[in-house]
Amino acid sequence: MVTSEIIRRVKEIQIRTGRQVADVLAGEYMSVFKGGGVEFDEVRPYVPGDDVRTIDWNVTARSGQPFVKRFQEERQLSLMMVADVSASQDFGSQSRSKREITAELCALLAFSAIHNDDKVGLILFHGGIEHYIPPRKGQTHALRVIREVLAHGSDDRGTQQRPPPPLPPTWWTSLPHWLRHWRGRTDPTPPATAQSLHLSTNISQAMDFMMTVGKRRQVCFLVSDFLDQNFDRAIAAANRKHDVIAVIIGDKGEEQWPNIGLMTLRDAESGAIQVVDTGSQAFREAAARQEHERIEGLRQRLAALGIDCIHIDTTGSVVDPLIRFFRMRERRIRR
């Protein structure tokens, strides 16, 4: 994506999400996420009924009259967005890709946090950590976060740092374990190369990195399609220290295959290839069933780890699932 195109997309997202944040999300966000404790405010004279444990003995000794410390809730917190930028994020069966949905989601969260004077940070990952932006305040910083999500993989000349796929994207499947993140048509495709093998998703490494850089408690939105295995230990450990929310980015095309006959599929992250017959109703039904079972199984795994989950589809609204999540959290807090 060339620089001018990135700037245009950032402006579009800013315009679209700005109204949504002002209308609904900022208040929902503030009612759900609280600061990490209390901080000192001032001292005042003691009045009957005050807790004696709050007496400031140093001030009391100097003044000869009892004074107590006043504290207020520490409202400010840090919001860390951990975004998957593996090759599978470039897929989208309609007008928007998973990467674009991720950028819009990050914009909504970042502007909501900035509106409430919170800090915003970003971690981009796939097989390793691609980029880290420490949490900071301000709208300019929020815009930088959005730009980094959109611009990842492009240099200043607009050329791709990753080798471009030899085939245009046409459809997607998540059937066998090794047939994921597809590109394809009926053209032959080359085998996997050593350069492409490092692009697969590694959620465990992203969580371990966040634990390293996040010394204080943070709210972490982990945004991915979760095409990974064996991340339970790392995500559970991160959730014990931080507030981890999993955001599953999906696409209707992963379940609803077109009937267009034979297709050669290539895994965009490993390069593995396979020919499938989309004209087979049994194949299309199996694809839909396996993707549905994958998402439901993922929900159950995350719930068992005590991690809240949001499912966002590229063909639908980004705002509505967020509002449902905020209101669910608010009901839980009130109980």
Residues 148 and 140: beta-carbon distance below 8 Å: no
Q: 74 in helix, strand or coil?
A: strand
Give the span between the Cα atoms of 120 and 169, in whole angstroms: 33
Q: How many CA atoms lie within 13 A of 169 on its CB side?
A: 20
Assess whether pLDDT exceeds 80 at residue 210: yes
Assess whether pLDDT exceeds 70 at residue 91: yes
Which residues face 275 on adjacent strands? 264
Which residues face 43 on adjacent strands? 69
Residue ranges covered by each domain of the chain: 3-34+77-334, 39-74
Amino acid 74: pLDDT:
53
Return the CA Rg of the chain: 24
Least confident of 68-77, 96-105, 125-134, 174-183: 174-183
Residue predicted with more confidence, 317 or 27? 317
Q: Please classify residue 250 by burial: count the beta carbons closer than 10 Å to its beta carbon, then call 0-12 exposed, 13-18 middle and 19+ buried.
A: buried
Give the span between the Cα atoms of 90 and 85, in whole angstroms: 8
Percent of residues, the chain, with pLDDT higher than 70? 76
250 backbone dihedrals φ, ψ, rounded to 5°: -125, 180
Assess whether pLDDT exceeds 70 at residue 286: yes
b/e string for 95-112 if b means 16 or more Cβ within 10 A?
ebbbbbbbbbbbbbbbbb
Q: Which of the four pLDDT bands, split at 50, 70 and 90, describes residue 71? A: low
Amino acid 72: pLDDT:
57
Residues 76 and 218: beta-carbon distance below 8 Å: no
Looking up tokens 């009901």, which residue turns up? Answer: 331
Residue predicted with more confidence, 186 or 82? 82
Question: Using one digit for the tens of pLDDT, what is the confidence trace for 4-51?
Answer: 666 677 777 777 777 777 666 767 777 677 654 555 667 889 988 888
Residues 291 and 322: beta-carbon distance below 8 Å: no
Amino acid 22: pLDDT:
65
Question: Using one digit for the tens of pLDDT, what is the confidence trace for 143-197?
Answer: 888 888 888 765 443 334 444 343 333 333 333 333 433 333 333 333 333 333 3
Give me 41's structure tokens: 């405010």
Give the span between the Cα atoms of 93 and 209, in whole angstroms: 32
How far is Cα of residue 105 from the mean position of the Cα atoms in its chain? 8
How far is Cα of residue 287 from the mean position of the Cα atoms in its chain? 25
Question: Using one digit for the tens of pLDDT, what is the confidence trace for 288-311?
Answer: 898 899 999 999 999 999 999 999
Residues 311 and 245: beta-carbon distance below 8 Å: no
Residues 291 and 255: beta-carbon distance below 8 Å: yes
Give the span between the Cα atoms of 106 and 312, in whole angstroms: 13
Instruction: Quote the pTM value.
Output: 0.73
Q: Which CATH superfamily is domain 3-34+77-334 in?
A: von Willebrand factor, type A domain (3.40.50.410)
CA distances, 235 to each of 203, 324, 329 (Å):
8, 23, 20
Helical residues (DSSP H) of the chain, grouped into ranges: 3-20, 26-32, 57-63, 98-115, 139-151, 203-213, 232-241, 281-304, 319-334
